Amino acid sequence: EDQVTQSPEALRLQEGESSSLNCSYTVSGLRGLFWYRQDPGKGPEFLFTLYSAGEEKEKERLKATLTKKESFLHITAPKPEDSATYLCAVQASGQAGTALIFGKGTTLSVSS
Amino acid sequence: EAEVAQSPRYKITEKSQAVAFWCDPISGHATLYWYRQILGQGPELLVQFQDESVVDDSQLPKDRFSAERLKGVDSTLKIQPAELGDSAMYLCASSYDRGADTQYFGPGTRLTVL
């Protein structure tokens, strides 16, 4: 069964304190791995897509990496406005459609 | 910047009533998805459309849920009758095509069933 597990469930950081979020996955065949940011009461906002092991992408203070079994979202010198829930999702080749399979998310709180 | 539109943003209803949600995808996007997100969980697929055709509705509770995309553009998701367990955020997403295309999400409809 295709599955995505995110850890930790919640993470509290001080402003400027760098850290990483983990996303481990098991899929029959990986078409792509996606990271989204979700603010309370809003829809997910797209951050990155990774397609193959070894790939990395960066955007401002965020950097996403991918291995054959997991992905990391590294947050460098976070600011309070980075506080949100970060969702990881995979698109698997063995399913009928192309829907995303999501993890439960990591809720990040950054205090000043 | 083009966005996925959804309405209403909030809906409160009593159990056994009918509710309907509307989604207008980004112009030119052929693929449309409806997801349901329970508080504290990730979104889960209800139904996927490619143009006006259903691609995957294996997780749609067909005894009470229905979805349509008649002209291959906007879409409606209906629940009849609503149950207490249907309280959730209903999210619409669209992508240019199938495959590993980025899915862009709308703001969602928060449904509360009393």
Is A41 close to B91, i.e. CB distance below 8 A?
Answer: no
Coil, helix or strand at residue B84: helix
Q: Alpha carbon of A68 to those of A9, B38, B65, B109: distances in Å?
A: 22, 29, 37, 35
Residues whose CB is less than 8 angstroms from the CB of residue B85 and which lie 6 or more positions away in sequence, other chains included: B113
Q: Does B63 touch chain A (CB under 8 A)?
A: no
pLDDT in tens, B9-18: 999 999 999 9
Question: Is it the case that residue B1 has pLDDT exceeding 80?
Answer: no
CA distance B102 to chain A (A): 7
| Rounded CA separation A62/A81 (Å) | 13
Q: Does A40 touch chain B (CB under 8 A)?
A: no
Percent share of chain B, pLDDT over 70? 99
Chain B residues lying within 8 Å of A89, measured CB to CB: 42
| pLDDT class of B100 with cuts at 50, 70, 90 | low
User: Per residue, what are the HEC states of chain A?
Assistant: CCEEEEECCEEEEECCCCEEEEEEEECCCEEEEEEEEECCCCCCEEEEEECCCCCEEEECCEEEEECCCEEEEEECCCCHHHCEEEEEEEEECCCCCCCCEECCCEEEEEEC
Is B91 close to A43, i.e. CB distance below 8 A?
Answer: yes
> Which backbone phi and psi does A67 adopt, to 5 degrees?
-120, -175
Identify the pLDDT of residue A1: 86
Is B107 close to A102, i.e. CB distance below 8 A?
Answer: no
Would you give per-residue pLDDT tens digits along chain A (112 residues)? 889 999 999 999 999 999 999 999 999 889 999 999 999 999 999 999 999 999 999 999 999 999 999 999 999 999 999 999 999 999 988 777 889 999 999 999 999 9
CA distance A5 to chain B (A): 11
Question: Is it the case that residue B107 has pLDDT exceeding 70?
Answer: yes
Identify the pLDDT of residue A45: 98
B103 DSSP assignment = P
Q: Does A35 touch chain B (CB under 8 A)?
A: no
Element (H, E) at B24: strand B19-24
- Chain B: residue whose CA lies nearest to A42: B107
